[in-house]
Amino acid sequence: MALVLFAFAIRLLITEASKVSREDFVHGLTSVQPAYLVIAAMLIALNYGLLACYDLLALRYVRRVLPLRRVALVSFIGYSLGNNLGTLIAAAPIRYRFYHRWGLSHTQIVALVSVLGLTFWSGVCLLGGIALTLAPIELPAKYALPFGTRTLGIILLSISFLYGMVCLFWHKPWPIGRLHLRPPSVGLATVQASVAAVDLLISATALYLVMPGNAVVPFPMVLAAYLVAIVISLISQVPGGLGVLELILWTLLKDTVGQPVLASVLIFRILYYFVPLFIGMIVLVAHEIYSGAVEARTDAKFAADHPSDPTPPRPADTPARPSSEEQS
Does 327 map to a domain? no
Is the separation of the CB atoms in 263 and 28 below 8 Å?
yes
Does 311 map to a domain? no
Question: 67 Cβ partners below 8 Å, 6+ apart?
Answer: none
Supply the pLDDT for residue 320: 42
- Give how far Cα 45 sits from Cα of 41, 52, 202, 246, Å: 6, 12, 10, 21
Supply the pLDDT for residue 198: 95
How many CA atoms does the CB half-sphere of 130 hold within 13 Å? 14
Supply the pLDDT for residue 275: 92
Nearest to 108 by CA among 278, 322, 286: 322
Does 263 map to a domain? yes
Does 313 map to a domain? no
How many CA atoms does the CB half-sphere of 124 hold within 13 Å? 16
Is the separation of the CB atoms in 173 and 181 below 8 Å?
yes
Is the separation of the CB atoms in 191 and 57 below 8 Å?
yes
Does 59 map to a domain? yes
Nearest to 37 by CA among 199, 266, 302, 247: 266
Supply the pLDDT for residue 73: 94
Does 98 map to a domain? yes
pLDDT in tens, 168-223: 888 777 776 677 778 888 899 999 999 999 999 999 999 999 888 777 788 888 89
Does 307 map to a domain? no
Tell me which residue range forms the domain holding 17: 2-299
Does 304 map to a domain? no
pTM strictly above 0.75: yes
- Digitized pLDDT (tens) for each residue of the chain, 328 residues in all: 666 766 766 676 666 666 666 676 666 667 788 899 999 999 999 999 999 999 999 999 988 999 999 999 999 999 999 888 877 788 889 999 999 988 888 888 988 998 999 999 999 999 988 988 887 777 666 556 677 778 888 988 999 999 889 888 887 777 766 777 788 888 999 999 999 999 999 999 999 998 887 777 888 888 988 988 888 888 777 777 777 888 888 888 887 777 778 888 888 988 999 999 999 999 999 988 888 787 777 777 766 766 665 555 554 444 444 444 444 4
Question: 230 Cβ partners below 8 Å, 6+ apart?
Answer: 124, 200, 241, 245
What SS3 class is residue 48?
helix
User: Number of folded domains in the chain?
Assistant: 1
Nearest to 85 by CA among 226, 237, 223, 249: 237
3-state DSSP of 195-262: HHHHHHHHHHHHHHHCCCCCCCCCHHHHHHHHHHHHHHHHHHCCHHHCCHHHHHHHHHHHHHHCCCHH
Supply the pLDDT for residue 327: 41
Q: Position 170: which residue type? A: W
Q: Position 265: which residue type? A: V
| Strands annotated E in the chain | 174-176, 179-181
